[in-house]
Structure 1
Amino acid sequence: METTFPLRRQTIVMSCPPVKELLDLWPALKMESELYAEFQRITNQNLPNTFYAELDRHLPRLMTLFRQKASKTGKTADALAEILRIHDEQDSHDIHTKRTTVPHALPVYLREDVSGFFRTCTDESDELELEVVEVALFTVISDHDTTSPVHYQPVKTSVVIESDAVVSLPRFGEAFLVMFGLIYALHLSYPKALTNTLKFTQKILLGLESGKLSPRLQTLKNDLVM
């Protein structure tokens, strides 16, 4: 992978072939460790170490902001309140619980519609019946509560790109990070409806290409340092 990196970057950036074609050529990118190595080749940054360090540093303030918003009225407040209610009902509140809650709550807080990206199914066969899906996370659960906005003990969460389940992971937070890494490594455009959430990950958590932020993200960044 190290040797073929220049050729791969030229192919990805200049030719923009379908993702399936790229992953057939370099199937190692489906492996979590190889994807992180590829990200480091591109950015000179350790993706999981930097992401989790920055996310964990901001977790207390993010949870406070979510609760403040949830105490108000409106659709965004109601949606956040439901996520936080389920979070508070968990028997365990370790770091993985919060790393699951925040990726679900952040796009809601930023008023983004995640219905097309965060999907839930109860049967692995349902996961394969994908219509045209550019980018999504499919969470497979063992119960039948598909209406719940967040699940803390899924069977697995699959990263789906161009209607293909590329990789599956046990935790939602890990799947979210791998999804971001694949979008970056494969030089894909951010899904329009999730742009602020992914730019928050890129520019605020990872400090990559930290140019001008949208007003919504600039406000959130200011709120985080208050």
Structure 2
Amino acid sequence: MLFRVIISPQNIKKVRLDPVPDSVDGLKFELKSRLQLKDPFDLQYEDEDFHDFCNLTCLADLPKDKVTLKVLSTPCPDTSSDSSLDTAILSESSSPLTSSASIHSESYAARSQPWPTAFPIPLFVYDAELRLRQGNEAFRKYGTLLSIPRDMKIEILEKLAETIYSYKAYPGNEEIESVASALIEKHPCLKEPSSTSGWYGWKISIKFKMGNYRQKLRDAGCQELKVNSEKRGLGETRGKRNKVKKPRRCETNFLPDLPQGKDREGLDKERDQIAVEMTKRTPDITFVDAAMSSTYSLRRQEVIEEEPPVSQMKVRWPTLFTERQISKEFTRLVSKDLSKSFFEGLDGHISKLIQLFRSKRYEDIPEITSILESLHKDPSDREEDVIKGVVIGILVVVENVIEPLPSFYNDVVVMRHLRDIPNAFLNLMGLVYALNLDYPKELKFTCEVIQHLFIGLGSDSCTARVHSLKSKLLQ
């Protein structure tokens, strides 16, 4: 059977399945494998009777030969790793602080999932929905378009802006297009007769409405948006021209406001409580997790606004430099499980990567040749010379381990005793996100491959070089 699968308005694939799975779950599993879909999803099919999409609950409802399916992403629960901290053996035993955990577990940010594969058009006010319903019916019967009054268009744009902001404060051009396209797909009566795509004018209107919506929130004191007024020298920071502080790597909770009813002084006291708790032989992990979640906004404001050195962050937030909290911080920041995403992406591409590296076309590429040679090179250089000029990296000690490490490592080693190289890369990327570090120039494309192809963040907006590798891996 031939399937036309709509993953997003800009991503439509053709898949042939023979034989067809005997259940909806089996079909979802097959599509997930074939199309490398990472997030949970539901399926809708185009019904022949109604000429519209319906939820797929039984394969018997599908047409016989050719089927159009739509992939709808569903919220992914928090599955952060529960691996133990590398500084102590932790137990779930209760302590005097456990009773206050519920107080600290309030939401640290409004966003709980990344930008969806298919943007969900929200419901509008009742009278607008009624007009749209009638307009869509007239469009299907007679092909007539709906002429909407100004107040109704304003309502639609404001609701769309609010929904967009729930995913991203600064959507890109492709994301704005996906919203406009999804709007027309759900409400075809809103198509523009003078536009080839049918939604170009809506795209422009949504883009301007997002700017107005951000300005309203900025005037209301939203820290995530207010911080960017500094680039124009506005407000209290007049004359100060900092670099633009926006999400650059698909962060969903880049700079959240402080929790309601909390101030910096109170959150700083919680930070001290975390440090005290971690000095115990068996810290209360429930309290530590809740307090780290509660103080997330304080931590992000320090990282984004003050840009402290890593050594200072390690002194103030030592718990952040543990495998458990790196994983949880990453989930708070991008609404995605770090370990699960990384290893699933790695497993999905590793066999093809090995084939590419072994192919003759890559034998003369200097970068790959250098990597292969380094695997067999005798590391006879002095240790001080090896780490000189290194911005970030992984230190591998294979024999003759001396504890403690030489003094010149004291200021550069932030984590120790990681299990293996893949796990080290995993935690390195987690720290880069948690500390808002730039990708080092020498490792820029390596980090982008890990971000876009392995972790699956922003895979539709990668650089040309990474996109080229992605195409080869999917061949």
Structure 1 and Structure 2 fold alike (TM over 0.5): yes
**Are the counterparts in 1 of residues 311 and 411 from structure 2 also a CA contact under 8 Å?**
no
The residue aligned with 1:28 is 319
Equivalent of residue 335 in structure 2, options 36, 40, 44: 44
Please show how residues 1-226 of structure 1 align to structure 2 within 5 Å.
1-69=292-360, 72-73=363-364, 75-76=366-367, 78-79=369-370, 82=373, 126=383, 131-142=388-399, 163-168=411-416, 169-226=418-475
Displacement, 1:172? 1.4
- Give the 3 Å change call, closer, same or farther, for CA 69–170 of structure 1 in structure 2: farther
Q: Judging changes above 3 Å, is the alpha-carbon distance between structure 1 residues 219 and 16 closer, same or farther for their aligned structure 2 residues? A: same
Equivalents in 2 of 1:176, 1:59: separation in Å?
15
CA contact (8 A) 2:333 2:434 kept: yes
Take 2:320 and 2:372, find their aligned partners in 1: how far apart are those partners? Answer: 37
Amino acid at match of 2:357: F
Q: CA separation in 2, counterparts of 1:187 and 1:121?
A: 34
The alignment-based identity, stated in percent, is 31
Residues 77, 45 of structure 1: CA spacing in aligned structure 2 closer, same or farther, 3 A cutoff?
Answer: closer
Task: Call closer, same or farther: CA 1:171–1:3 in 2, change over 3 Å.
Answer: same
- Listed as ranges, the gaps of 5+ residues in structure 2 are 1-291
Shift of residue 71, structure 1, vs aligned partner: 6.3
Assess if the C-alpha contact under 8 Å between 2:326 and 2:431 holds in 1.
yes
| Bigger Rg, structure 1 or 2 | 2
> Comparing both chains, which one has the higher relative contact order based on Cα–Cα distances under 8 Å and sequence gaps of 6 or more?
1
Q: Deviations over 1:185-217 (max 9, x none)?
A: 100000011001101111222222345322211
In the other structure, the counterpart of 1:110 is none
> TM-score, length-normalised on structure 2?
0.33
Instruction: Report deviation, 1:166.
Output: 0.4
| CA pair 121-23 structure 1, distance change in 2 beyond 3 A | farther
Structure 1's 186 and 78: CA in aligned 2 closer, same or farther, altered over 3 A? closer
What's the RMSD between the two structures over aligned residues?
Answer: 3.2
Distance in 2 between residues matched to 1:71 and 1:13, nearest whole Å: 40
CA apart distance, 1:81: 5.2
Amino acid at match of 2:312: E
Runs (5+) with no aligned partner, structure 1: 87-119, 144-153
Secondary structure of 2:396's partner? strand
Question: TM-score, normalised on structure 1?
Answer: 0.67
1:201/1:7 Cα in 2 relative to 1: closer, same or farther (>3 Å)? same
Question: Which structure: greater helix fraction?
Answer: 1
